[in-house]
Amino acid sequence: MLKDAKARIAVLVSGGGTNLQALLDAQKSGILRSGEIVLVVSNNPDAYALTRAQNAGVATAVLTKRDCGGQAGFEAKLHETLKTADIDLVILAGFMSILSAEFTDRWPKKIINVHPSLIPSFCGQGFYGLRVHEAALSYGVKVTGATVHFVNEIPDGGQIILQKAVEIQPGDTPETLQKRVMEQAEWILLPRAAEMVSAEIVNKGKGETV
């Protein structure tokens, strides 16, 4: 065990970054204590999440598929950026891009994601952001929630770490449901899972990625 060591965390974002904010707040309050957020990477130069990172004094990077010449170039640059920053754990927090098996195979059990439904419902390709809540409401489920899981080559298909149920209320819109799922589930689960996985990485002595 590496005493006093912390897992070095990179958070990948695309938009508003409320889940990133929950992680930053958890770091401040001590809920997240075995890991330290050292880098925020956005695939969207206009993401408000970048401002949140800057306000917290965390280094940022912007990588777009367009600038990298497509998915393979983007993933190669992302891998290089993460290795350069000596990252131990990658957290997808509202990151709206699917990573290929070539990338996820290089970070086994080192990437986690928060998804705004109870997997295996309303997940996989095409289910992201508000679309997930639209699908839950149009199906008519009475309970939804959020899931934090490890990321592998199957979109939203990796091992589940934590889940929490949230009730749907009469008159819910995708927006009201999204807000309740974030408040009651995502912002609680993601920091908790980040701490669990960081602690495991530190206890194992920070394994190597390829």
Catalytic residues: 115
Segments in the chain forming alpha helices (H): 18-29, 48-55, 65-68, 71-84, 101-104, 130-139, 174-181, 187-204
Q: For residues 36 and 134, which CB has a smaller minimum distance to ligand GAR in the complex?
A: 134
DSSP state of 136: H
Residue 93 engages ligand GAR in binding (rule: CB under 6 A) = yes
Q: For residues 14 and 34, which CB has a smaller minimum distance to ligand GAR in the complex?
A: 14
* Alpha-carbon gap, residue 67 to 98, rounded angstroms: 17
Q: For residues 103 and 202, which CB has a smaller minimum distance to ligand GAR in the complex?
A: 103
Nearest to 146 by CA among 104, 178, 170: 178
Q: For residues 60 and 206, which CB has a smaller minimum distance to ligand GAR in the complex?
A: 60
Number of residues that bind ligand GAR (CB under 6 A): 16
Radius of gyration of the chain, Cα coordinates, nearest whole angstrom? 16
Residue 17 engages ligand GAR in binding (rule: CB under 6 A) = yes
Nearest to 149 by CA among 175, 181, 117: 117
- Pick from 6, 15, 89, 107 the residue near ligand GAR by CB under 6 A: 15
The contact pattern for ligand GAR, residues 108-147, with x = CB under 6 A and - = no contact, is ------xxx-----------xx--x---------------
- Residue entry with tokens 């990077």: 61
The contact set with ligand GAR (CB under 6 A) reads: 15-19, 49, 93-94, 114-116, 128-129, 132, 182, 186
